[in-house]
Amino acid sequence: MTQTNNNMTVNPDLAMERAKCNFNVLEVTHIFDGGERNTLQRKKIEDVALNSGASKDALGEEHMSPKEKYENAVRKSCIYATMMKNELAELSGLESFGVSSPVIRRTADAFFKEVSPFLLHLGMFVPTIMGQCTPEQQSYWLPRALDMQIIGTYAQTELGHGTFIRGLETTATYDPETEEFVLHSPTLSSYKWWAGGLGKTVNYCIVVAQLYTKGECHGTHPFIVQIRDEDTHVPLPGIKVGEIGPKMGFNTADNGFLGFDHYRIPREHMLMKNAQVLKDGTYVKVARHGKLTYGTMVFVRVVLVNEVAFNLAKASTIAVRYSAIRRQSKPKPDEVEPQILDYVTQQHKLFIAIATAHALQLCSTWLWESFSAVLAQMKGGNTDTLPEFHALSSCLKAISTSDSAHLIEQCRHACGGHGYMISSGIPNLYNFVSATRTYEGDYTVLLLQTARFLVKAYEQAEAKKPLTPTVSYLAHAFSGSRATWDNSPDGIIRSFQALAAGKTAVCVTNMRKRMRAGLSQVDAWEMSTIQLVAAAEAHCRAVIADTYRKEIVRLTANSSPNVKVVMDQLTTLYLYYWALERTGDLLMFTSVSQKDLVDLQIAYEELLLKIRPNAVGLVDAFDLRDELLHSTLGSYDGRVYERLMEEALKSPMNKEPVSDAYSKYLRPMMKGKL
Ligand SMILES: CCCCCCCCCCCCCC(=O)SCCNC(=O)CCNC(=O)[C@H](O)C(C)(C)COP(=O)(O)OP(=O)(O)OC[C@H]1O[C@@H](n2cnc3c(N)ncnc32)[C@H](O)[C@@H]1OP(=O)(O)O
Ligand SMILES: Cc1cc2nc3c(=O)[nH]c(=O)nc-3n(C[C@H](O)[C@H](O)[C@H](O)COP(=O)(O)OP(=O)(O)OC[C@H]3O[C@@H](n4cnc5c(N)ncnc54)[C@H](O)[C@@H]3O)c2cc1C
């Protein structure tokens, strides 16, 4: 194994697990990383960033006040940003450090148990400059942003609207006299709300506002806006800005609010790649597709699939290692208490988490490559592939974030009481990932975007028109008979396609019926949205399963035999798990019988037993250093109880033998003197 400290004492149960692992762990690490070269580069970056000890805190973050936590997060963000500029960028060979590198992002997690106040700077501010500026604008703003001379965020959401972008109320009205835009917040609900880093950290932001010129509204457009003085950091006149208060997670991200009182910015601060306002106020549309200003959101949706795969890998590493050292109950009176990992129900909770981390990691690489292809086509002026990509990135963002949040919570359940400790690392992971289901497009809202595409594709299939690749299966939706069930991986993928097609067909039929009965198209659509969301989910499962399977076959072509076997077991597990989760749907839309499902359940249980001896090896293959896990339960050496006690003793509550609360309240009450 590739752990840095080779002299550590390892818990004997974990040592035993590692001894019985029958595949080459490093080979699987290479598969997960996308090749040996990537693994080497990642480890180099991790060594430079993490061996210095700069990521460590003197006092545990969880014992700090909110203000101390924030200041500490800023301190470490500055250390990490400086490292990126000076050392890591060169190591990673990136033109623009940090922006497109999951490795740099991943390494940053060692510095923050929650998130960096700079997350939005690199995650959305810089990508918006790259994606929405003209070349001249980019050459001015990008170097300043990459060099951290200015720090920015992305302020789109308002108190009153997040999902419905067209409903945003902030206005940017062009004044040709001064060649300026006047930014204004006309109502309380128009205040910007949520942007990460806005509360105290940033001095610039991208503001999305309704553009008015020559008395006409042209819809939402992005602007770059200075909100604080570059020297004193004091908010500029006309700006009302602050932090929004404690949240379920993201508490080091100083999410903020922002209001404008007739605040003026130069005309050139409108990001003009897709649309322009000329000096005289004439509006010129440049882009061929109306939704290109949503580009940064699409970029982040793609990045998030990778982000949640990484976080799920962390949670499953913690829970599987802990389950290997934890012994509980005595089902066989003459034998020692078993490791909880030996319980089949525990394997059912955990192995799907490992398989899903793999599935999402491989899908994220595939999605990134598809995104690059779409961007390349759009550079040449062709936006034909954008609708399909929007449908694809929307459903993958929705399902990957939702599944990961659910499975991270399942990992917490698998760790019993100790999983509830902040020091286990799992609560912070859950709080972070559960937010990803909402931000950058809520789960339901994004699945309905995919459903919109599915319905259109269904109608095209009905009219025998050509279909785009991810929905080409709809061409077979009109055979009149239910899809034939077979439990091979390809057969299960076809079944999920049949579910998506079947549910879409039901929706289309019901919508038509409802419209004939007098409902409007909008109302008929609304009445079908439960099934439309389910259709988009089934479509997405088919895409994930198909991509995962194909990528594993490709990536293991030259692997050793045991690696091939264990990777095949994981992909099969993923398919069996989801087929068994959707038995009702399968009975409705395929020829599956009760006997087939009983057989599938048995095959699934047998698969769990086959994977069991390799479980610790599989999570070791994620190669997550202890600094990244932040976990008393999941460290490589398995010193779980020792770490739990060490952390408990660090609690400020244990500093005094008797709490002040005793003399103030407990004693008076117990002596009857309160
Ligand atoms: C270093 C890296 C680190 C990375 C870490 C990352 C962490 C970062 C942390 C982040 C922290 C969090 C940061 C944040 O949270 S930032 C805030 C994020 N906010 C959102 O994501 C808001 C979600 N809402 C929307 O996206 C839109 O309003 C939707 C889509 C819901 C509707 O929209 P709208 O009402 O305008 O449209 P319509 O429904 O009338 O549909 C009209 C047509 O448009 C098509 N359409 C719609 N959208 C797109 C699109 N994008 N590309 C191509 N096409 C698109 C659509 O298919 C339809 O086509 P057709 O059917 O008519 O043909
Ligand atoms: C941690 C965090 C960080 C964030 N950071 C940023 C940031 O940096 N910058 C920024 O601009 N924003 C940010 N956001 C805001 C985020 O993008 C929005 O909260 C998100 O897009 C959801 O929008 P909403 O809050 O308006 O939810 P709503 O749309 O009000 O959703 C509420 C409910 O209504 C349902 N609903 C809404 N519309 C429909 C519909 N058409 N059909 C069916 N159901 C519907 C949803 O499914 C949901 O169940 C952040 C949010 C969080 C939680």
Sign of CA dihedral 59, 61, 64, 67: positive
pLDDT tens digits, one per residue of 164-202? 999 999 999 999 999 999 999 999 999 999 999 999 999
Q: Using the atom order of ligand 1, give the atom closest to the CA of residue 445.
A: 31
Q: How close are the terminal C-alpha atoms of the chain, in Å?
A: 61
Task: Report the pLDDT value the prediction gives residue 96, as an integer from 0 to 100.
Answer: 41
- Pick the residue whose CA is nearest to atom 8 on ligand 1: 123
Q: Which atom of ligand 1 is nearest to the CA of 456?
A: 61
Q: Is 558 exposed, middle or buried (0-12, 13-18, 19+ CB in 10 A)?
A: exposed
- Ligand 2 centre and the CA of 441: distance in Å? 6
Q: Which residues line ligand 2 (CB under 6 A)?
A: 120, 153-157, 161-163, 194-196, 250, 255, 435, 438-442, 444-445, 448
Q: What tokens were used for 136?
A: 């001249």
Phi/psi for 110 (5° steps) reads: -70, -25
Q: What phi and psi values does residue 277 have, to the nearest 5 degrees?
A: -115, 120
Residue nearest to atom 40 of ligand 1 (CA): 166
Q: Is 19 helix (H, G, I), strand (E, B) or coil?
A: helix
Residue 1, pLDDT > 60, answer no
Domain spanning 121-287, CATH architecture: Beta Barrel (2.40)
Strand spans (E) along 1-63: none
The alpha carbon of 163 and the centre of ligand 1 are apart by a number of angstroms equal to: 8
pLDDT of the residue at 4: 41
Catalytic option among 17, 169, 180, 440: 440
pLDDT band at 444 (very low <50, low <70, confident <90, very high): very high
pLDDT band (50, 70, 90) for residue 620: very high
Q: Is the CB of 522 under 6 A from ligand 1?
A: no
pLDDT in tens, 222-256: 999 999 999 999 999 999 999 999 999 999 999 99
What region, left, alpha or beta, does residue 11 occupy, with left being phi > 0 and alpha being psi -120 to 50 degrees? beta
CA distance 293 to 502: 34
CATH number of 443-620: 1.20.140.10
Exposed / middle / buried, residue 598 (Cβ in 10 Å: 0-12, 13-18, 19+): exposed
For strands 256-260 and 239-243, give the pairing. Answer: antiparallel
Reference 532, options 516, 553, 509; nearest CA is 509
Q: Which two tokens stand for residue 574?
A: 């993923």
Rounded to an integer, the average pLDDT of 462-480 is 91
Residue pLDDT, tens place only, 118-133: 999 999 999 999 999 9
* CA distance readout (Å), 234 to 200, 201, 231, 239: 10, 11, 8, 10
C-beta 113 within 6 A of ligand 1: no
Nearest-CA residue for ligand 1 atom 46 is 291
Distance of alpha carbon 592 from alpha carbon 495, whole angstroms: 9
State the helix-helix crossing angle for 386-414 and 529-555, rounded to 10 degrees.
80
Q: How far is CA 111 from the centre of its chain?
A: 18
Cα angle value 400/404/405 (rounded, 5°): 120
The predicted pLDDT at position 97 comes to 36
Strand-pairing partners, residue 263, are 183
Length of the chain: 674
Q: How far apart are CA 10 and CA 8, in angstroms?
A: 6
- The closest-lying atom of ligand 2 relative to the alpha carbon of residue 443 is 47
Q: Is the dihedral of CA 525, 531, 533, 536 positive or negative?
A: negative
- Rounded to whole angstroms, what are the CA distances from 199 to 122, 192, 245, 506, 604? 17, 11, 9, 47, 49
pLDDT-based confidence at residue 479 (cuts at 50, 70, 90)? confident
Backbone angles phi, psi at 414, to 5 degrees: -65, -15
Is 526 one of the annotated active-site residues of the chain?
no
Question: Which residue in the block uniquely carries the two structure tokens 């069996």?
Answer: 576
Ligand 1 pocket test: which of 294, 302, 375 has the largest number of ligand atoms within 8 Å of its C-beta? 294
Name the residue of 291, 389, 432 to mutate for ligand 1: max ligand atoms within 8 A of Cβ: 291
661: pLDDT confidence band, cut at 50, 70 and 90? very high
For the stretch 324-362, pLDDT in tens is 999 999 999 999 999 999 999 999 999 999 999 999 999
pLDDT above 50: residue 368: yes
Q: Which ligand is nearest to the CA of 395?
A: 1
The CA 154 to ligand 1 mean position distance, Å, reads: 14
Using the predicted structure, report yes or no on whether residue 607 has a pLDDT greater than 80. yes
- In the chain, domain spans: 121-287, 443-620
Q: Looking at ligand 1, which atom is closest to the CA of residue 386? A: 53
Instruction: Give the β-pairing of 204-213 and 239-243.
Output: unpaired
Q: How buried is 106 (Cβ within 10 angstroms: 0-12 exposed, 13-18 middle, 19+ buried)? A: buried
In angstroms, the CA 16 to CA 329 distance is: 20
CA distance 486 to 596: 9
Report the SS3 class of residue 393: helix
Three-state secondary structure string covering 609-663: HHHHHHHHHHHHCCCCCHHHHCCCCCCCCCCHHHHHHHHHHCCHHHCCCCCHHHH
The one-letter code for the residue type at 479 is: S
CA-closest residue to ligand 2 atom 20: 439
Rounded Cα–Cα distance for residues 148 and 85 (Å): 9
Would the CB of 184 count as within 6 Å of ligand 1?
no
Mean pLDDT of 551-569: 97
Q: What DSSP character marks residue 483?
A: B
| CA 294–ligand 1 middle distance (angstroms) | 6
DSSP of 403-415, one letter per residue?
HHHHHHHHHHHHT
Backbone angles phi, psi at 318, to 5 degrees: -60, -50
How far apart are alpha carbons 354 and 317 in whole angstroms? 8
Contact 340, 323 (CB under 8 A): yes
373 alpha carbon to ligand 2 midpoint, in Å?
Answer: 29
- The number of the ligand 1 atom at minimal distance from the alpha carbon of 165 is 28
Helix (H) or strand (E) holding 173: strand 171-175
For residues 533-542, give the mean pLDDT: 97
Confidence tier at 58 by pLDDT (50, 70, 90): confident
Q: Which two tokens stand for residue 409?
A: 């919570």
pLDDT value of residue 47: 93
Residue type, 78: C
ipTM of this complex: 0.98
In angstroms, what is the span from residue 532 Cα to ligand 1's centroid?
Answer: 18
Say how far apart CA 425 and CA 404 lie, in whole Å: 15
What are the tokens at 103? 């490795």
Q: What value does the mean pLDDT take over residues 628-654? A: 96
DSSP assignment of 207-226: EEEEEEETTEEEEEEEEEEE
With a 6 Å cutoff on the Cβ, whether 161 touches ligand 1 is no
Quick: pLDDT tens for 83-102.
Answer: 888 777 666 654 443 445 78
Supply the Cα-derived Rg of the chain in whole angstroms. 27
Residue 226 in tokens: 């200075």
CA torsion 300→301→306→308, rounded to 10°?
Answer: 110
Alpha carbon of 629 to ligand 2 centroid (Å): 29
Mode of pairing for the β-strands spanning 283-285 and 275-277: antiparallel
Average pLDDT over residues 611-619: 98
Residue 6 token pair: 């080779």
To test ligand 2's pocket by mutation, which of 157, 301, 308 has the most ligand atoms within 8 angstroms of CB? 157
Q: Is the CB of 94 under 6 A from ligand 1?
A: no
| Whether the Cβ atoms of residue 151 and residue 197 lie closer than 8 Å to each other | yes
Amino acid occupying residue 654: N
Q: Cβ(424)–Cβ(418) under 8 Å?
A: yes
Mean pLDDT of 258-262: 98
Q: Which residues contact 349 (CB under 8 A, 6 or more apart)?
A: 319, 410, 411, 413, 414
Rounded to the nearest integer, the mean pLDDT of the chain is 94
- pLDDT at position 355 is 98
Which listed ligand is nearest to 432 at the C-alpha?
A: 2
**pLDDT for the residue 103:** 84
Is residue 259 helix, strand or coil? strand
Nearest CA residue ID for atom 26, ligand 1: 441
114, 118, 194: residue to mutate for ligand 2 pocket, most atoms within 8 A of CB = 194
Q: CA-to-CA distance for 660 and 84, rounded, in angstroms?
A: 46
